[in-house]
Structure 1
């Protein structure tokens, strides 16, 4: 009897948790500097790779990767994280040169992603910045941005529509640090009719239960998982 109970307990412990985010289940991931590549990276069809940051006063580009990626199979996005929209002179041309070097190395480079926490009330100014950036990018490169869940609830519809004419996608972040933001379901109830092509960003090992109706949204393009090192 005790043997049977122990076996049942072990089986229960090994049962997959459907609400825990496991990167291996998804085909798109973010790979940040300092995070060890895992099987999820090697299996992914799309990888967003943090290449550097534009930060400081005055702002400057700080590279975060020593080696250039060499991955001919997945689609790659070069990610630039920034805490300012006051970019230094030459930043646009420098980023295009980095994209070109990635492509020349044999990578399938889709484009540039800007990781910036634009305030919901500042979306119109953000659109001005992105419009200038889009003009500087060759058409062979797409433009992606990260976005906040609050955009869906309180974003100005006109500003969101304007962004839709500039960027190719927005990846809505549902986490902070290593943890899924509680109450995300309420934000996604307001996603109906979201006017931009969008993906949903999840954090590895976070909690996620897909809200009703999300998969039916015409502009929904799937998920991206933010990878973390094991503690």
Structure 2
């Protein structure tokens, strides 16, 4: 974590078979310092039970300690057509978070390219930032530069997530976009590092 501008750590997963429980993957709050620290939950469904929200809020309180937590990030692969419903979920979650915590979400590149203006506006209203994923598993997605040209439709601060060791040439327009906050590098386990592309 030392020296990083922002760190996103996967704390837990809410799995498809149980909307009542987030399965913790990190048992203790992280140590070290970063300018921004985000607690990440990977979600496979959006109909969370109250017990799952309670789990998340309790974990966020523990992680926040003396104010070191920036916010919560939700990692959910919504279809482009389902963004309005996802935005409603996020807006509701935002009301449950303490006022000093921000809300982030990972985003698919198809969203800014093909979602309706109304859907993107709803997402921007619910979130403090979005992290657009330019990879899948260990591979940089093809035509990422074409999809990322549509980030001009994102009326919200955003970062672009790239995979460690993957192919990447920075699209020129990003440097001049006032909403662009930089990159997030998805770090691979050692056994996967040789296969990134």
Q: Same fold (TM over 0.5)?
A: yes
Give the C-alpha shift of residue 83 in structure 1.
0.5
Question: Which of 1 and 2 has higher RCO (CA within 8 Å, sep 6+)?
Answer: 1
Contact 2:124 2:154 in 1 (8 A): no
Contact 1:197 1:219 in 2 (8 A): yes
The partner residue of 2:100 within 140, 147, 153 is 140
Q: 1:217 to 1:72 in 2, by over 3 A?
A: closer
The partner residue of 1:99 within 51, 60, 81 is 60
User: Alignment RMSD, CA only?
Assistant: 1.5
| Aligned residue number for residue 229 of structure 1 | 189
2:78 matches 1:90? no
Aligned length: 190
Tell me the distance in 1 between the aligned counterparts of 2:156 and 2:5.
Answer: 22
Secondary structure at 2:175's aligned position in 1? helix
Q: Deviations over 1:174-231 (max 9, x none)?
A: 0011110011111122222422211100100001111121211221111110001223
| Aligned residue number for residue 5 of structure 2 | 45
Give the C-alpha shift of residue 154 in structure 1.
0.2
Secondary structure at 1:51's aligned position in 2? strand
Give the C-alpha shift of residue 76 in structure 1.
1.1
Gaps of 5+ in 1: 1-40
Runs of 4 or more, structure 1, over 3 Å off, are none
Tell me the distance in 1 between the aligned counterparts of 2:166 and 2:80.
Answer: 24
Which deviates more from structure 2 when the two are superposed, residues 60-69 or residues 129-138? 60-69
For normalisation by structure 2, the TM-score amounts to: 0.90
Tell me the distance in 2 between the aligned counterparts of 1:219 and 1:75.
Answer: 17
Q: 1:154 to 1:73 in 2, by over 3 A?
A: closer
Secondary structure at 1:99's aligned position in 2? helix
Which deviates more from structure 2 when the two are superposed, residues 201-210 or residues 106-115? 106-115
Q: Max radius of gyration: which structure? A: 1
Give the C-alpha shift of residue 150 in structure 1.
0.3
| Aligned residue number for residue 66 of structure 1 | 27
For normalisation by structure 1, the TM-score amounts to: 0.78
Tell me the distance in 1 between the aligned counterparts of 2:60 and 2:28.
Answer: 14
Gaps of 5+ in 2: 192-197
The partner residue of 1:197 within 157, 170, 195 is 157
The partner residue of 2:172 within 193, 205, 212 is 212
